[in-house]
Structure 1
Amino acid sequence: MASLLAPTSPFDRPSLAYTLLTQPLHLVLRLLSHLLTSLRPPPNRHPRPIRLVCISDTHSLDPGAIPPGDILIHAGDITAHGTPSELQTAIDTLSALPHPHKFIIAGNHDTYLDPSSRATLSASDAAFPPKNLSWRSLTYLQHTTTTLHLPSHNRTLTLHGSPQTPLPDPTFAFTYARGQDAWARTVPLSTDVLITHTPPKHHLDLPAALGCEHLAAEVARVKPLVHVFGHVHAARSDFEGRVTGARERVVWGAGQKALESGLARRARGCVWDVLNLGLWWDLGRVVYYGVGAVLWERVWGGASGEASTVMVNAAMMWEGSGRLGNEAQVVEV
């Protein structure tokens, strides 16, 4: 039955029935964790918040009306085929937007930007001189960090951008083998906003968990205020296709460690999930720590003392449709 309901690609959004048939306790674990986190008080709002406008995966299409903000972030795949002409057209479109500061990284479709995949383009495109590509008002980040000073807010913000993505196809840009650790200690601890193309594993990356486990470990080490990514378009929508899953708050405490332990246990079908004592143990720990945190913070008024990160899947592409259907995400820090 599950095989009949299976999505045609791991990057497609599975039906609720398929998820229940293949990993019911994993689903309950995620939903309970998200519910308990949502019941906790939000972090204190800064008196002079910086407005981040986050987009990704525009694939050579015009993103249209983008909300105003202090900083525009594009998390990769600005083109469909990654030719220099496509890149320049996309850059010109984004550069015309009115946001005072704009930061962008590459994605796996932005072929020309990676010398190792550039050879897959036509001879004329591959020979295009990199110095002739004009980034205009955009700041391009490729394994680089920049600190932005905003005098209007009397604040500074440190951003780090990295394009690499776990994909088995070397014809794509900035790829590495799934399971390879391309992230350990590559992100500075001072990072406030992390921009990657791939999601971290188990965060807005579908039940198939298409993100990278090593990136997840690096994010847990650094604990940025915001982590913006894209790549897995369909993770933006819930089981009915409504766009409700574009962001997630992660509180770095014992409950999160219990959740990670449970989700790391392999999903082997409905019966195995239900009979997996380790999963039940992790589920119990998620409830124990989550309820305890809610009571401590909501009832007794205690302070959390735990850092948190807002995860944002900013993909604008509507699943695998070839059209843009998701809205930009706005986050204040």
Structure 2
Amino acid sequence: MHLGGSLTTESACAYAHSPGVPPHPGPEWTRFICISDNHSRTQCDLPPGDVLLHAGDLSSWGYPAQVMKTLDWIKSLDYPTKIIIAGNHDLCLDEDVPPFGEDLGPESLATIREYVRGEEMKKANVHYLEYESFEFMTAAGRKWIVYGSPASPKHASGAFQYSERQAAQLIYDKIPSDTEILITHTPAKYCLDLTAKGKKAGCRVLRERLKSLEACRLHVFGHIHEDAGADMIDTDAGVRVAVNAAIARSGTAMIVDLRN
């Protein structure tokens, strides 16, 4: 499903945000609002929900001020839980990227890296994940286990990138088997990863890892702006919703309802 449609099963529903989207289905469900790749753009119509998920590329060119613009916006949004990761554009958040640009020495980079994990963010219910898990409970009492990874295959220069299969395996082998909600910046290979040039640009290693993540019911990613949308993937354990939540072109959030 690309933008404008909907997908529904007995345990999961996915919609592109529009006036015709059904209301929250009730306390037996959790509504996730999924976005990615806003690239410092903060003019986006977001619907109500239980959880906001952002799959990276908070900024355009990785400068702290650009990241802060998005963080301030996310802090202001009225969601009980907000979970974010970085992407390949978010250079200032990657400790392996050397200082760049004017007035961007180690001190200013350390400041933004501390801030994104700091108390002000937590007080606003914003949780930044970088190769780590996070557990939260909804108002209805459902506990969800989330894992976030900012990594993506090497393309030009950027943050959190890998170029070798072995490096990718080290990254994705870290995903715990009990992960229910997976947020990555890159798509998996052959899943909503088609570029404008006709290339399937997702990660093959991530695709292989997902096959063994039986508990994973929702995979949210972005990176490939042209292929935003959702898909339902049959697994041995049931249905997994895959969402390319990139809003860089459409400005349209994706809504996913999961039965608790």
> Could you say whether these structures have the same fold, taking a TM-score greater than 0.5 normalized by the shorter chain as the test?
yes
Distance 1:235 1:129, change over 3 A: closer
- Cα distance in 2 for residues equivalent to 1:70 and 1:143: 23
User: Identity over the aligned pairs, expressed in percent?
Assistant: 32
Specify the structure having the higher radius of gyration (Cα).
1
Going from structure 1 to structure 2, the CA distance change for 1:230 and 1:129 (only over 3 Å counts) comes to closer
**SS of alignment partner, residue 220 of structure 2:** strand
In the TM superposition, residue 126 of structure 1 has moved relative to its aligned partner by: 4.3
**Residue correspondences, number:** 225
SS of the counterpart of 1:128?
Answer: helix
Instruction: State the Cα RMSD in Å.
Output: 2.0
**Are the equivalent residues in 1 in contact too, given 2:93–2:109 (CA < 8 A)?**
no
User: What is residue 260 of structure 1 aligned with on the other side?
Assistant: none
Normalised to the residue count of structure 2, the TM-score between the two structures is 0.80
SS in 2 for 1:90: helix
Change (3 A) 1:330 1:118: farther
Aligned match of 2:68 in 88, 112, 119?
88
1:62 CA displacement: 1.1
Name the counterpart of 2:193: 205
5+ residue gaps, structure 1: 1-37, 237-245, 254-305, 319-324
Q: Distance in 1 between matches of 2:111 and 2:146?
A: 24
Q: How does 1:1-333 map to 2 (within 5 A)?
A: 42-44=9-11, 48-131=28-111, 133-135=114-116, 136=121, 137=124, 138-150=126-138, 152-169=139-156, 171-177=157-163, 179-180=165-166, 181-182=168-169, 183-206=171-194, 207-223=198-214, 224-236=216-228, 246-252=229-235, 306-318=237-249, 325-333=250-258
The SS at the match of 1:203 is coil
| CA-CA distance at 1:70 after TM superposition | 0.6
**What's 1:32 paired with?**
none
- Specify which structure has the bigger relative contact order, considering alpha-carbon pairs within 8 angstroms and separated by 6 or more residues: 2
SS at structure 2 position matched to 1:115: coil
Aligned-partner Cα distance in 1 for 2:48–2:175 = 28
**CA-to-aligned-CA distance 1:74-126 (integer Å, 9 cap, x gap):** 00001001111111121001110101110000000000000222423435354
Q: Is the 8 A contact 2:44 2:251 kept in 1?
A: no
Q: Distance in 2 between matches of 1:44 and 1:110?
A: 34
Alpha-carbon contact 1:248-1:312 (below 8 Å) kept:
yes
Letter in 2 for 1:174: F
Q: 1:130 Cα shift? A: 2.3
* Contact 1:166–1:198 (Cα < 8 Å) also in 2: yes
Instruction: Please give the TM-score of this superposition, normalised by the length of structure 1.
Output: 0.63
In the alignment, structure 2 segments of 5+ residues that lack a partner are 1-6, 13-25
